[in-house]
Structure 1
Amino acid sequence: MKNNKKEKLVPELRFPEFEGEWENNKLGNIAEFDKGKNISKADISEDGEIECIRYGELYTRYKEIIEEVYSRTNLDKEELVFSEKGDVLTPSSGETAIDIATASCINKDDVALGGDINIIRSDINGNFLAYYLSNKKRTDVARLAQGISVIHLYKSHLKSLSVNLPSKQEQQKISSFLSLIDKKIELLKKKKELLELYKKGVMQKIFNQEIRFKDKDGNDYSEWEEKKLGEVCSNKKSGLLAREIKEEHDKYPVYGADGITGYSDKYQERQDFVSIVKDGAGVGRVKFCRGKASVVGTLDIIMPKGDNDIFFLYLLLSMLRLRRYVVGSTIPHLYFKDYRNIKVEVPSFSIQVEISQTISLLEKKNSNIDRIISSTQVFKSGLLQKLFI
């Protein structure tokens, strides 16, 4: 017996003032299509008079809504295709189908649009359509793309795309709400960037001794002492075998060049330590690592000698230009023996602790911003699936 009950075209999550079903249609029935023209990388000019967008920027620089345009050109206007406010742009070629399955709404008139850009022009709210195509419909758009070495997405493909649309009022409500979330994320990212710049400035002044710490009685601490780096710290090699690293979450993390790369059922270092990439990509990168962890073979473990604070050591190493000591061209290497004789100035242990606490507080603030950004992005991802059909 057949079930003839038709599923209603309503989203899982909806603003309370709206009701009724959305309408299904083919994008080709409700939109017109055009294509950009010209504008190579060589045509970009910092002092150009015409704002422009090249196709590659659609998946490297821009997100769903374009309010500010970064590139300019001085090409002849007669040779260009220009935007109308509300146009939705998609790249028509790229390396992978999922890369080019992205859409951006340009909210400005008269922006020159380069070749390999599909232009979708319709009465649909452009911001709504860009969010829709880039998220809920992204997999469907990717399936329409064709090619092997170079993937193409032509207007003939996009015309066949099935879309579900609410009233213009609901389109506006959804896109405005998502835009507010995006603005919050951008503000948080800017706040993080400014805090990072502030932290770097404070560190620079501390290690130049422009900022001086005082004891509890208000007196200056003793002067910093010049030492060789090898007198302050020592290095250890990784003793972890590749077969001991597991992808699934085990007891103890294993650090690689970009952070935690796997897990192991044992650890090499009980105490907190500093890791430095000594071979390959990212050589010279310094990271503070929590204890009960290990590193892969391309990293060195750096530990303090004597009465030195581990987090201060991390900050000290971060300030050094270790890439000067990199050798090798095909595979770069950084050996401890080559930089252990660097002369550094080191304060007393009590000052080291104060410096560590000061910078650690700033890093914790940045970590808190990171967490808020991540949770907001997760919230947005959920909305993008539930607000659309």
Structure 2
Amino acid sequence: MTATPELRFPEFGLDWRSKLLAKPSDFSKGKGISKSDIHDGGATPCIRYGELYTEYGEIIDETVSCTNVDPINLRLSNGNEVLVPASGEVAWDIAVAACVMRPGIALGGDINILHTTDDGRFLAYYIGGKLKPNVARLAQGNSVVHVYGQQLSSLNVTIPEIEEQKKIADFLKAVDKKILLLRAKHDQLTRYKKGVMQKIFSQEIRFKTDDGSDFPDWKFKRFDEVFSFLRTNNLSRATLNYVSGNIFNIHYGDIHSKFQSRFKLSDEIVPYINTDDVPMKITEEEFCREGDLVIADASEDYADIGKTIEIVDLGGKRVLAGLHTYLARPDVEQAAKGFYGYVLQTFEAQLQIMKFAQGISVLGISKGNLGKINIPHPHPDEQQKIASFLSMLDEKVRAVSAQIDRMQTFKKGLLQQMFV
């Protein structure tokens, strides 16, 4: 059987050929390298199977781990091997592959190692892309799933001649490099913002008035001196949907998992309440306003308790704070829009919230205790300058995140269109 991909470099014209991925004898297994065997500055670079999920993409040029285990007890790479994890928690997650480029790298246990004369990079992209559903179907098990070299060897693949394989792999590697550069830029901006926030809220950095004079010294107030709490609805997720309705709802689970700290309705995927199906008595005061804080009052994680989003842009829509949330509305004479959402992101505010958190498996904080935390209270004009500056940094971070998403979507399309 012959075939050609949907997207192809014009200099190649030969049909692709179908074959089995490999012979069972082309597969071997890595040798166990335990966590205690990992040493910074160890003599032998190594790859453990869990790192195939967390640390690497389809091509491994450099490793993140080293070991001092005697090489005689290790399985060392020759270069161009394709690595597929032999176990994992979810069938879909186990369907990944990476090509180790260098010789002399120790390959840990629970790794299927494919020794091939094809371009290993090409096969890694193929297995983790077009072949991913086929690999996932091979996985067996319940709490832990497994896939074996003998199973992988039975996969049908359709591949070009080696030169076209190399051309495709080189192109996809260039796309990956662009994504890595964008991620590095994102990390750099995020670290910069974190450092600047620390300096601003420690008052190492101060802003000036428009005429260049100093703002007054900062004061500190209790949270409930600046904010008042309003009623929120208690609808469960079962009453919500992401398709249609006439009111948007901010559910505490989405605060933890989906929403940005600065809430713009145009940027978020928000569930609806359909009030035709769920009759509710809602006063106009209970709808979120720009400048409001919506605070999650429960979490399983100390570091996440009291996670807060600030409403900065509703786009003219109606939004309610929902289950396990507090809606805190500022005194507009005391609080500039956009400022206190940043305050509650600071380590000092989070530490106070964690001290008040109560519970065992699930942690919670009461309105009374939340109202007791001390928050900085600069002059409102200085608040606005701080908020505007940090908002500008957020927009830069958000723009790079959008670039990363677009590049990842582009790559995903390539992995479907450049393979058969």
TM range (shorter): over 0.9
Residue matched to 2:319: 293
Is the Cα–Cα contact under 8 Å of residues 27 and 150 in structure 2 kept in the other structure?
A: no
**Corresponding position: 1:48 with 2:42:** yes
In the TM superposition, residue 20 of structure 1 has moved relative to its aligned partner by 1.9
Match 1:15 to one of 9, 17, 40: 9
Residue matched to 1:364: 395
Residue matched to 2:306: 284
Is the Cα–Cα contact under 8 Å of residues 288 and 320 in structure 2 kept in the other structure?
A: no
**Corresponding position: 1:130 with 2:139:** no
Aligned CA distance change for structure 1 residues 97 and 343 (closer, same or farther; 3 Å) = closer
Match 1:313 to one of 332, 340, 355: 340
Normalized against structure 2, the TM-score is what? 0.86
* Sequence identity percentage: 38
**Corresponding position: 1:274 with 2:268:** no
Residue matched to 1:85: 79
In the TM superposition, residue 96 of structure 1 has moved relative to its aligned partner by 2.3
In the TM superposition, residue 237 of structure 1 has moved relative to its aligned partner by 4.1
Match 1:325 to one of 356, 362, 366: 356
Please give the alpha-carbon distance, in whole angstroms, between the structure 1 residues aligned to 2:178 and 2:298.
39
Aligned CA distance change for structure 1 residues 92 and 335 (closer, same or farther; 3 Å) = same
**Aligned AA (1:277):** A
Please give the alpha-carbon distance, in whole angstroms, between the structure 2 residues aligned to 1:276 and 1:68.
42
**Aligned AA (1:125):** D
In the TM superposition, residue 71 of structure 1 has moved relative to its aligned partner by 1.6
Please give the alpha-carbon distance, in whole angstroms, between the structure 2 residues aligned to 1:82 and 1:38.
12
Matches within 5 A, 1:1-389: 8-29=2-23, 32-242=26-236, 244-255=239-250, 256=254, 257-258=256-257, 259=259, 260=269, 262-265=271-274, 268-272=286-290, 273-281=292-300, 282-289=304-311, 290-291=313-314, 292-307=318-333, 308-319=335-346, 320-321=349-350, 322-389=353-420
Please give the alpha-carbon distance, in whole angstroms, between the structure 2 residues aligned to 1:140 and 1:325.
50
Uncovered stretches (5+) of structure 2, i.e. residues with no partner: 260-268, 276-281
- Give the ranges of 4+ consecutive aligned residues of structure 1 lying more than 6 Å apart after TM superposition: none
Normalized against structure 1, the TM-score is what? 0.92
In the TM superposition, residue 154 of structure 1 has moved relative to its aligned partner by 1.1
- Using the TM superposition, name which of 210-219 and 155-164 deviates more: 210-219
Is the Cα–Cα contact under 8 Å of residues 280 and 298 in structure 1 kept in the other structure?
A: no
In the TM superposition, residue 28 of structure 1 has moved relative to its aligned partner by 2.1
Is the Cα–Cα contact under 8 Å of residues 185 and 377 in structure 1 kept in the other structure?
A: yes
Aligned CA distance change for structure 1 residues 221 and 147 (closer, same or farther; 3 Å) = closer
Please give the alpha-carbon distance, in whole angstroms, between the structure 2 residues aligned to 1:159 and 1:85.
19
1:45-75: per-residue Cα shift (whole Å, max 9, x none)?
Answer: 2342221111122122222111221122221
Please give the alpha-carbon distance, in whole angstroms, between the structure 1 residues aligned to 2:4 and 2:115.
25
Is the Cα–Cα contact under 8 Å of residues 86 and 111 in structure 2 kept in the other structure?
A: yes
Aligned CA distance change for structure 1 residues 371 and 313 (closer, same or farther; 3 Å) = same
Is the Cα–Cα contact under 8 Å of residues 16 and 161 in structure 2 kept in the other structure?
A: yes
**Aligned AA (2:271):** G
- Provide the aligned length of Structure 1 versus Structure 2: 383
Aligned CA distance change for structure 1 residues 148 and 202 (closer, same or farther; 3 Å) = closer
Give the alignment's Cα RMSD to 1 decimal: 2.0
